Structure 1
Amino acid sequence: MFAAPDGALLLDLPWPLLVVYAPPAQQHVKRERRTSSPPPIVRTGEAASVRDLNHQISGGQFLKALQAECVRSAPLQTLMKEIQEAPHQRTRDFCVVGKAVWRVSAGRYQLVLGEDSPLREVVLQEAHASVSAGHAGRDKTLERVLRRFWWKGAADVVGRWVSSCTICQAVRPPKNSYPERLLSPHAIPTRLWQVVSVDFVTGLPVTA
């Protein structure tokens, strides 16, 4: 580094020199997240019949439909088989209790639903549009759902459900509206009769 092409020294250092080679930083290729679309919701079966009920669904009806889904859904059957073949009949995250698959996460027991289960719509309707839910946003709706239920891609499904809610779209202001600011009251008049307003009341009934 300090020598000429003919071998002559260009710079004679009286102390040793440590040369560190730093290779060029590798350029990280940005990976695009590919979200696969979930399978279509099943329109037939006991769970679909429960979903289409016009009255309030009882806990027994929901549990019976959930057990029927565990028998119908092939991914849930495969998961139940893996759990039953595992030591102590449970895996790190899943177990079977009462003929239903449960997920244990962060101290919560969550009922596992299939990706094409009609019961997802029942859960979403209760967690978002019920009287106690009050059409909350995505994060609060997702928190309500994950209290007792879980399925693959639940966050994406909840986001699409909330963004497609017609009531939320009609009531909530658009994002490009004027931001909320402090109140701007009118200026206080400095003299009499500076501001005069007249209110006409018409349409009163004629008395005797």
Structure 2
Amino acid sequence: MDRPSTYWSAKAQEKLNESRYWKSARLQQRTQWTGLTTLVNEADVVYASAQYLISPIESILNIEYGDRIRISSEKPGKSGKIGEGHIRMDLVFHRPEKEQTIAILEYKRRGFLQRRDFQGAFTSSNVGLGEKLSRAANDPLLKDNAFVSSKQAAAYAIDTQTPFVAIFDWDTMVLFEFNNLKDDNVGEVAFGTWVDENGRETFRKVLLGWVLKACQARDVPRQ
């Protein structure tokens, strides 16, 4: 199901409107990307996003949750459901004392994500959903890199038992919420959000709203 980016940015804005955020001196320092002009590979995307995307979100999570939430890179999978050690996640928001994964961000090289590859799977109505599920039996709705990356995201969700997995290639972000997640599958339908910065919504605000909902889903206590 297609979930608009405004759903997530509204959650972020609601949080940022709280006085302890707009009074924070650290958050008043505007973060802008002024580094590499060319992002050639996945490593470049990781480097750039650490500064522009992740660092500001980490500051907000520190205010909201203190040290209850941590961000780790290259975190291995731990569940035997997929195969211990066979999964390694690029960036993980997690709750160490509970050994819980909150959300996962997977990086791809720039240009990896193409809307046309996802387009057939998106629908905003239950009527359209039924039609697409009927077609999917004979013709996969996800094409090429969309199929590969969505399958990877689903594997991460099953392994960590978190429904919140995102894919980012610097130009585009795809946010998943596998709301039908089970022990061994993610179900036939999930919420998905396609985000680019051609419109008014920024990656930071949309990702922040998504991570905040993931924290709420795990009942992480506020500081």
Whose helix proportion is higher, 1 or 2? 2
TM-score norm. by structure 2 comes to 0.27
Bigger Rg over Cα: 1
Whose strand proportion is higher, 1 or 2? 2
Of structures 1 and 2, the one scoring higher in RCO (CA 8 A, sep 6+) is: 2
TM-score norm. by structure 1 comes to 0.28
